[in-house]
Structure 1
Amino acid sequence: MPPTDNQGSFLNRISIRRNQVVSMDVNHEQELEELELFQKHVSDRFLQLLPPQSPLPSSTGEETDVVDTPERLLSIAWFRKLLDVYLCCESEFKAVLIIGRDATHFSKPPLDRLLPDHLDRTVKALDICNAITHGIELIRHWQRLAQIAVDALEQRPIVEGHVRRAKRALNTLLTSMTTDDKEQNVHPGKLAERMWSISRRGGGGSAPPTVNHNRRISDNSPTIITLVSRSLSSSFTKSWSASKQIQAMCANLVAPRGGDSTGLSLPVYLMSSVLVFVMWTLVAAVPCQERVGSGTHIQLPRHLVWTHPMILLQEKIGEECKKKEKKGTVGLLAEIQVIEKVAQSLVEFAEGFEFPVGGEKADEVAAQVMELVEICRKLEVGLGPLQLQVRELFHRMVRSRAEVLDVMDVVGKINTNVLY
């Protein structure tokens, strides 16, 4: 019996439905492939940050060798590489999250909760960038003091006047390094003029201003311009704490489970973890207001491939934090660790100085001065580009936040009930 028109219509609907299912399967497979590739890229980038000859634990429990890297852990060169890694991860994250996606996904659980949490962490990270800028300016001050000592001790012969001048500069440097963290970065004047972050509203509370995630904020918006202008005339309040900012960023940072672990929740969690890790590392290394206590580890699951190099880095940096865990400790940046060590040794020389200096002692002092010269050179060459990268990081986060808010605005308009 030939098919009737109704039968033909029914078969056509079946065929269309089958094509839709196939299309959904293809899209789902493509999404899984993108997520897997994103995780691999993040893992590979952080793998390059590991110190030379560091073993990398694999998901099977075995250890694999990592590629040697010339940058010393926690050095300026290493931090410049770390910030490059973050910027690369952030660009790929936006591509995975936004490009070709149905915007309505952002209004459904769990993204409707995870995205605002991520944007909150971004705002806190902007303030940390602010504090890091202060810290870099403080390191510049230490570099100038070290250079004064170098200029004095390079004179030949070394006489008492040269030694006194070097001792004064080095004592000032060491005193600044051991000052209570609350006072280290509260500098009016020139340092305040270099601030570009979002400043606090009103009083001295440690919490950042409330953020309306349904409101679009871009680089050129009046809100950002007003906040940036306001920040140029004021510094952090004394109650602001870098360590508390890190702790707040870690709140609710939980790995997705079940079906969420294969959806868009995973890249949001991944990027939040990378953001917290980068900020935690910067706070640990660069002198910041109230940074003591920031050595708490970020809880990262070991079953995800991209967490392995981050966990190993965190453990190594945590070991350095424990060595220097004391009130008012200097940051873990490799260059300022060397300055502190050499400055203490040269102060001891100055306190026991007798003219003329013996040949063996003169050689020892000359070697220490040369070490200080090399560190001053590294600071002179590296601090400027590092500060520019922190600035770029700041503005990139502002732009990315605005782009996500744009998508959320679209979702809000779609979900708005239209009255007829």
Structure 2
Amino acid sequence: MKEVTVMIKEQTATPLLLPYRELYKMNKEGAREKLIETYKRTGSISETARLWGTSRNVVRKWLRRANEGGSLSDLSRRPKNSPRKTDDWVEVVVLYEKDKKNRGPMRLSSEIKKKYNISIHPNTVAKILKRNEAKTKKYRTIPGIKRSFYPHESVDPLTHFQVDIKEIADIKALPRSCYEAIFNNNLPRYQFTAICVRTRIRFVAYGYEKSCSNGIGFLVLVVMWLRRHGIKGEIIFQMDNGEEWGGMSVRKVKHIQEKILKPLNARMTRIRKGRAYENGVVERSHRIDDEEFYAVHLDKIFSEEDFLNNALRWTYIYNIERQHFGRYMDGNTPFEKLKSLIPNIKEEIALFPPFILDKIIPIYQHIPFAKKDKKIKMGRHSQSGNNLYVQYNSVFKK
């Protein structure tokens, strides 16, 4: 009997070369079959567990599963009853809105409540998206450089603006049909943007040229608009070192600051070179423009007049209707945030008309160093400039 036991141990010593845990990582079902084969040779649960370096409970579990004729694969751990499980039709709604608008969990939760009257927590939305592998495209900043904390709550509303120019004809951001529509229909190529960092109220104008006259003219129009609506404090424009804002020329910048903006109680301040994230609020708004306006509507716009009408509607949606979930916004629209800070403010201040800067009376007449714009072909509207109030009326005539 002793000789038989020694023979069995010698025959079953091979599995010790590869412990059960390592074999399990390589092939789960194969490891469990080896356990059963070893037990059939040894006839001992304890000996099988010792040889494979595992517990007796593991050996018992898979012996019981084999005797019952069950599969050696992992069984589902899903509970039989889930009384608090989200209804399937609600998941369909979440996935539909995600695919349609590419929103994050907080915005999806808010919009589903508003549109379908379905209350669903943002964490539940996030789990539904994760379970269905519905991912949102993410953008990263420069490695190793932290985002600057912007003191949003320390500035007065409508006094501190981030300003930038956006090239609308960006082939990397737009579908080809929308990109080609800009040139085929002779639509504006550039968007001039000023956004209030405290409230996210945004003023936008357009141009066919990225020129200093258009850039400075835009700043003057924004200041005039704010003064017209009762904003009396100093206005600060934060921007990069682009040529449309004077560039690196000390003489140009000094002239703009002292002769043009200072009399209006306004001034410019610059971000550091190569640090676009310091103007992150306006940069983020440009991404929204691409995703929710240009990529959706440009290929359906066939004239400058249609473009202005759509741009004005988009201004209304962005400032009045669209919720924002950035820092300190808490799901409010820009105008709701502004209204909470200045209760007597009127809605009209958020409806800055989308001017074509090239067609307004050239402000560069008061800027001696600026290069005068050449006459641009505008189809039926071919002209080098027109009256400001004519342009304003053309935008609001409908």
Please give the TM-score of this superposition, normalised by the length of structure 1: 0.23
Structure showing greater radius of gyration is 2
More contact order relative to length (CA 8 Å, sep ≥ 6): 1
More strand by share: 2
Please give the TM-score of this superposition, normalised by the length of structure 2: 0.24
